[in-house]
Amino acid sequence: MLGRFENPVNPFDSNDRRHPAQDVRRFLLEELRPLRPVVTAAVATTILCASIEVWLIWYAGSLVDTLAASSPQALWAGHGAELLAVAVFVLLGRPLINLGSEALDDIAFRVNARPLVRWRMHRHVSRQSVGWFRDDLAGRIATWVRDGGDAASTAAYSVIHTLVFVVAYIAGSVWLMTAIDPRLLLPLGAWIVGYALLMRWAVPRYRRASERLQDAESELTGLLVDSYANVDTLALLGGQDELTEHDRRVFAAARRAHLGVQRVEVTINSSMLALGSALLVGLVGYGIVLWRADAAPLGLVAAALALSFRITSMAEWLLDAVSALFGSLGVLQRSLRTVAQPLAVADRPGATRLRVHGGAIRFSQVSHHYGRGASGLDRLSLDVAAGERIGLVGRSGAGKSTLVGLLLRFHDAEAGTIAIDGTDITDVTQESLRDQVAMVAQEATLLHRSVRENIAGPSAADDARVEAALRRASAGGFVAALRDAEGRTGLDAHVGERGVRLSGGQRQRIALARAFYRDAPILILDEATSALDSAAEAAIHETLAEVMAGRTVIAIAHRLSTIAHLDRIVVLDAGRIAEQGTHAELLHHGGLYADLWSRQSGGFLGTAHVS
């Protein structure tokens, strides 16, 4: 039966490309829209449940009066049918209505709201540019996506499940008191005012404390993910004591933030209990006073007693819900600040697919300083002819990676334009751009997926082509012998997080195979062969020479020997082109390149040679 409630929507259906709202209320309204029918039904059944509870208390009071007024013999004759009907309703009707309400709230809504929001956040974040991810810690971003979905679901659940119930219950109680004796509203009214004041004091504090806690927790997750993912770097850094000290500070900050939340919670809970006790004494005491003055029946005192117990226990529940609500609103707000940022690099409306005829690239007055006003690239202009192979060299930090990152639109240039075959790359879709520009990076990292997916991407792959690409990258042999922990072999074997189960050279060969598979007209090589041993490198160089033919190539190299034979060498310095020409011309010129070359061939890298 519960199955009917489980799948009111498919949470993973959305391929919404709109930018999610940064305002919490708008975000919830927009993103939970698919669950609107569930919410409407849940609110209606919750109100029904609350009304039944209030009615039961009223009925208990009136039953006391009925019992007091009638003789045991006359009870069945006068009230038998009514009592039976109420008993049947309490035994069958009430549990069924409650089941419906719980199933709507806890299954239909809760189980779907969380993945719905997480999926939407994940889809949006996945479309962020590479540059956007580099500005934050992956672990922190992951925490915001996971916790943001959780917070959105908890906030909405607190409203539809608890707040609606309590508000309906209190409204019912006010109505009941008015019906019995409006003077009873006095203690209840005083309690409501006291409760509202407590909330006013507590809620903003609770919200701030939860935001701080969430920040500290995400910092902690960021630290853990960063430390575990880079355990080798940590080991090499040494200084375990200083590292531990830094870790301890982050752990301690999380504890302090937790303490802040608990402090507010303890204050709230004890104030709640005091308020609840005042209500109990007020309602029952006032009821007794009225009863003694013959101004109210006995049933009134019974109902007042039951009501005050119920309201006080519910008030704690309400407070938990309000705390959960505002706590999760705080978390969601914090999460949206990161997750709902507009796309740092977005496709223009109406962006077309990039069509490449020859693969000519033109950088015109391109500047990019990472928003800092200095470093990066500075008004750089460069023309790369179709089919030309250029080597990009320069000291560390000269701007080589920035240049290729801008070509791939990891960032959008702050000024200037980049065009491929005359088309501005900001006018085309990023997907089509990256279809045409293949890159083999120095730090070849792989996804923890199968070798096949790492080469061909998530779409259905052509195995024969994947294998051909592997052979060309001299990777056929070791891939055939791969076997992962789950027994998958060859192309199906998973490579470990970031490819850690493979050696650096093997990872690089897979990355090369990826470029061969893509067969893109423009190829970027970022020290493409740095992690290979000399035998493998020699083999790959032959293949690279073959794959470069007929393509436009930009090859970044620190080892100048690997690019000395290319058509042109462009030397960058401080974000600008310092000089350019063939190897021979640049050596003859005697500038920066000649200087770098003489250092490398003059013993620093004694094995350097022109291949």
Ligand X SMILES: Nc1ncnc2c1ncn2[C@@H]1O[C@H](COP(=O)(O)OP(=O)(O)OP(=O)(O)O)[C@@H](O)[C@H]1O
- Give me the residues that bind ligand X (CB under 6 A), please: 134, 370, 375-376, 394, 396-402
Q: Which residue's CB is nearer to ligand X, number 227 or number 375?
A: 375
**Distances 251 to 247, 265, 436, 558 between C-alpha atoms, Å:** 6, 21, 46, 40
- Residue 537 CB-density burial (10 A; 0-12 exposed, 13-18 middle, 19+ buried): buried
- Least separation in angstroms between residue 269's CB and ligand X is 47
Q: Which residue's CB is nearer to ligand X, number 322 or number 444?
A: 444
Cβ neighbours around 293 below 10 Å, total: 8
Q: Which residue's CB is nearer to ligand X, number 362 or number 559?
A: 559
- Least separation in angstroms between residue 599's CB and ligand X is 15
The tokens of 558 are what? 């620190």
Q: Which residue's CB is nearer to ligand X, number 139 or number 394?
A: 394
- How far apart CA 237 and CA 231 sit, in angstroms, is 10
CB 212 within 8 A of CB 260: yes
**Distances 269 to 191, 195, 260, 279, 486 between C-alpha atoms, Å:** 15, 12, 15, 15, 50
- Least separation in angstroms between residue 485's CB and ligand X is 34
CB 586 within 8 A of CB 594: yes
- Least separation in angstroms between residue 106's CB and ligand X is 44
**Distances 240 to 42, 220, 247, 347, 350 between C-alpha atoms, Å:** 54, 18, 10, 45, 54
**Distances 356 to 99, 430, 436 between C-alpha atoms, Å:** 62, 14, 7
Q: Which residue's CB is nearer to ligand X, number 36 or number 599?
A: 599
CB 148 within 8 A of CB 117: yes
Q: Where are the alpha helices (DSSP H) in 347-462?
A: 400-407, 430-436, 451-456
Q: Which residue's CB is nearer to ligand X, number 368 or number 583?
A: 368
Q: Which residue's CB is nearer to ligand X, number 399 or number 499?
A: 399
- Least separation in angstroms between residue 464's CB and ligand X is 36
- How far apart CA 74 and CA 77 sit, in angstroms, is 5
- Least separation in angstroms between residue 372's CB and ligand X is 6
Q: Is 526 helix (H, G, I), strand (E, B) or coil?
A: strand
- Least separation in angstroms between residue 47's CB and ligand X is 53
- How far apart CA 300 and CA 545 sit, in angstroms, is 96
- Least separation in angstroms between residue 554's CB and ligand X is 12
Q: Which residue's CB is nearer to ligand X, number 258 or number 576?
A: 576
Q: Which residue's CB is nearer to ligand X, number 15 or number 396?
A: 396
- Least separation in angstroms between residue 343's CB and ligand X is 17
